[in-house]
Amino acid sequence: MKVRADAPLEMLGPLGCGIQTGAGAVLNALKVGAGSSFAAFGGGTVGLSGVMAAVVAGATTIIAVDVVAERLELAMELGATHIINSHEEEPVVAIQRITGKGVDFSLESTGRADVVRAAVEALRPRGTCGIVGASKPGTTFELDMNDVMQNCKVLRGIVEGDSIPDIFIPQLVDLYLQGRFPMDKLMRFYPFEEINQAAKDSERGKTIKPIIRIGH
């Protein structure tokens, strides 16, 4: 696909998957709107891209939920209005406390069945939860049927943010170059010789999106 001539090519690889997925889930699939509330369960590349997109969309309550303090700090830097460490606080209780009735939209990007349940429980009546996290084949999750039925909740799966890449990636590049989608804050560059360090940093959750430079 083509991007504008001044696009920073060395940063565009992650747009092909995680960034497009999180941002597209918010902007294309869930269609988070101005003034709405949004919670990202999982603050990796996908969840944090969802946070940045929720800012672009004008959401006024943006909650990031993770278990790694550094990722939550970054979420605040990217525009989250609240953060919840699920090792310290029960996220559904905390979200009810923050919003009063639950969030309009939630995005599950951990691939964990218990987190799917929490992301649905944290919705307000008629709210929508998007599942993007990948899990082991055959993984199942449990929901409270009456909660889903009586509160008219919607749950949907989303692949690659429902994006048409030829259209959506140039839009994300425009937003980045306008300073409205600071995806560079997720990225860290490593020379090829440090590929093992990049893998370690990624596994430990220290680096959100490592990019290997070959020949630099």
Site of interaction with ligand NAD (CB under 6 A): 17-18, 21, 41-47, 65-68, 71, 86, 109-112, 115, 132-134, 158-160, 205
In the complex, minimum distance from the CB of residue 205 to ligand NAD, in angstroms, rounded to a whole number: 5
Smallest gap from Cβ 115 to ligand NAD, in A, equals: 5
Select 4 or 136, whichever has its Cβ closest to ligand NAD.
136
The nearer residue to ligand NAD, 39 or 215, going by C-beta atoms, is 39
The DSSP letter of residue 186 is: G
- Cα(42)–Cα(36) distance, integer angstroms: 19
* Cβ distance to ligand NAD smaller for residue 193 or 203: 203
Report which of 47, 117, 137, 34 is spatially closest to residue 84, judged by C-alpha positions. Answer: 47
Smallest separation (angstroms) from ligand NAD to the CB of 193: 24
Angle at 101 between CA 100 and CA 102, to 5 degrees: 105
CB of 157 vs ligand NAD, minimal distance in Å: 7
What is the layout of strands, in order, in the sheet containing 37-41?
82-85, 61-66, 37-41, 103-108, 123-131, 154-157
Q: Which residue is nearest to ligand NAD (CB)?
A: 44
Three-state helix/strand/coil letters over 57-75: HCCCEEEEEECCHHHHHHH
Q: Which is nearer to ligand NAD, 103 or 115 (CB)?
A: 115
